[in-house]
Structure 1
Amino acid sequence: MIPKLTSSKNRANLLDKFVSKGIRFIYRQKAVLLLLSGLAGGILFSSCSSQPSRIIISSGDVGSYYYSLGQQIHNSTYATVKISVNNLQSQGSQQNLKRLLDQQADFAIAQLDVANKAMREGRVKAVAILANEYVHIIIRKDSGLKMFSDLQGKRVAVGNPGSGISFTAKRLLEADKLSVKQDNSDFDQAFKKLKSRQVDAVVYVGSLGASKNLRQQFVNNSELKLLPLEPALINSLTVFDPGSYQGAELPVGTYTSRPAIPDQKLPTLSTATVLVTRPEMDRRTVALVTWSILSTARNYSQFYPALQNEEPEILLRQGIFDIHPAAEEVFQRGDPRMALMHYWQHNSDLQAGVFILASTSILGILLRQWRRRRSQKMITTTATRINELKLLLPDHPQQALDGIEDLSQEHRLMFVEGTVTTEIYEQLRQKTQTFTDQCRRLLELQRKKFVMETLLLLDEWQATLQTNPEEALKKLSRIKQQYRDMLLSDQLDIEAYVELMQLTLISLITLVPKQYKNGTSYVKHD
Structure 2
Amino acid sequence: MRPLLYLFSLLLLGAVSPARAAPDLLIGSGSLTGVYYPAGGALCRLLARAPAKLPCQVVATGGSADNLAALSRGYLSLALVQSDVQLTTSPPPALYRLFNVHQEALTLVTRQDSGIGSLADLAGKRLDIGNPGSGDNSTMRLLLQAMAWPDETVAALSHLPGSERAQALCEGQIDAYAYVVGHPSSAISEAASLCPIRLIPVEGEAVDRLLQTHPYYQRTRIPADLYPGVDEAIKTIGMPAGLIAGPQIDEALAYRITQQVFNRLPQLRRLHPALSQLDRQQMIGEAGGLPLHPGARRFFVEQGWLPPLPAPAQHALRSP
Flag whether TM exceeds 0.5 (same fold).
yes
Q: Which has the higher contact order (CA 8 A, sep 6+)?
A: 2
- Alpha-carbon distance in structure 1 between the residues aligned to 2:182 and 2:226: 11
Closer, same or farther in 2 for the Cα pair 1:275/1:376, shift >3 Å?
Answer: farther
Write the letter of the residue equivalent to 1:193. Answer: A
More helix by share: 1
Counterpart Cα distance in 1 of 2:77 and 2:92:
18
CA change 1:199–1:304 in 2 (3 A) is same
In the aligned structure 1, how far is the partner of 2:91 from the partner of 2:32? 31
Amino acid at match of 1:242: P
Instruction: Report the residue type matching 2:252 in the other structure.
Output: R
Contact 2:47–2:260, Cα closer than 8 Å, also in 1: yes
Cα distance in 1 for partners of 2:300, 2:225 equals 35
Please report how far the alpha carbon of residue 86 of structure 1 lies from its aligned counterpart in structure 2 after TM superposition: 3.3
Map of 1:337 onto structure 2: none
Please say if 1:242 is aligned against 2:211. Answer: no
- The alpha-carbon deviation at position 62 of structure 1 amounts to 4.0
What's the TM-score once normalised by structure 1's chain length? 0.49
What's the Cα RMSD here? 2.7
Which of 283, 298, 314 is equivalent to 1:329? 298
What letter matches 2:209 in structure 1? S
Question: Could you tell me which residue of structure 1 aligns to residue 284 of structure 2?
Answer: 317
Aligned to 1:200: 175
Name structure 1 gaps, 5 residues minimum: 1-51, 335-370, 381-526
TM-score, normalised to structure 2, is: 0.78
Identical-residue share of aligned pairs (%): 23
Listed as ranges, the matches of 1:192-271 within 5 Å are 192-209=167-184, 211-222=185-196, 224-243=197-216, 245-256=217-228, 259=229, 261=230, 263-271=231-239
1:29-71 residue CA offsets vs partner (Å, 9 max, x unmatched): xxxxxxxxxxxxxxxxxxxxxxx96322222344542222222
Matched, 1:67 2:41: no
Secondary structure in 1 matching 2:284: coil
Q: Deviations over 1:231-269 (max 9, x none)?
A: 3233222221112x111122332323xx4x0x4332211
Q: Deviations over 1:179-213 (max 9, x none)?
A: 3311112234222222222211111111114x133
- Aligned partner of 1:78 in structure 2 is 48
Shift of 1:294: 1.2
- Deviations 1:8-38 (Å, cap 9, x if unpaired)? xxxxxxxxxxxxxxxxxxxxxxxxxxxxxxx
1:491 alignment partner in structure 2: none
> Which residue number in structure 1 is paired with residue 12 of structure 2?
none
1:88–1:189 Cα change, 3 Å: closer
C-alpha change, 1:266 and 1:153, in structure 2 (3 Å) is: same
Residue from 235, 242, 262 that aligns with 1:274: 242
Deviations 1:94-139 (A, max 9, x none): 2111101222222111111112234798453211111011111111
Instruction: Say yes or no: does 1:55 pair with 2:25.
Output: yes
CA contact (8 A) 1:112 1:274 kept: yes
- Give the distance between the partners of 1:64 and 1:279, measured in 2 at CA: 26
Between the aligned partners of 2:285 and 2:193, the Cα distance in structure 1 is 33
Write the mapping of 1:373-392 to structure 2, written as runs, cut at 5 A.
373-374=309-310
Contact 1:122–1:279 (8 Å) recurs in 2: no
Structure 2 CA distance for partners of 1:279 and 1:187, relative to 1, 3 Å: closer
Contact 1:148 1:227 in 2 (8 A): yes
Q: Secondary structure at the match of 1:272?
A: strand
**DSSP 3-state at the match of 1:372:** coil
Whether 1:175 and 2:146 are equivalent positions in the alignment is yes
Distance 1:89 1:248 in 2: 27
Check conservation: 1:248, 1:269, Cα contact below 8 A. Answer: yes
Work out the CA distance in 1 between the residues paired with 2:91 and 2:132. 23
Q: Which has the higher strand share?
A: 2
CA distance in 2, matches of 1:204, 1:129: 19
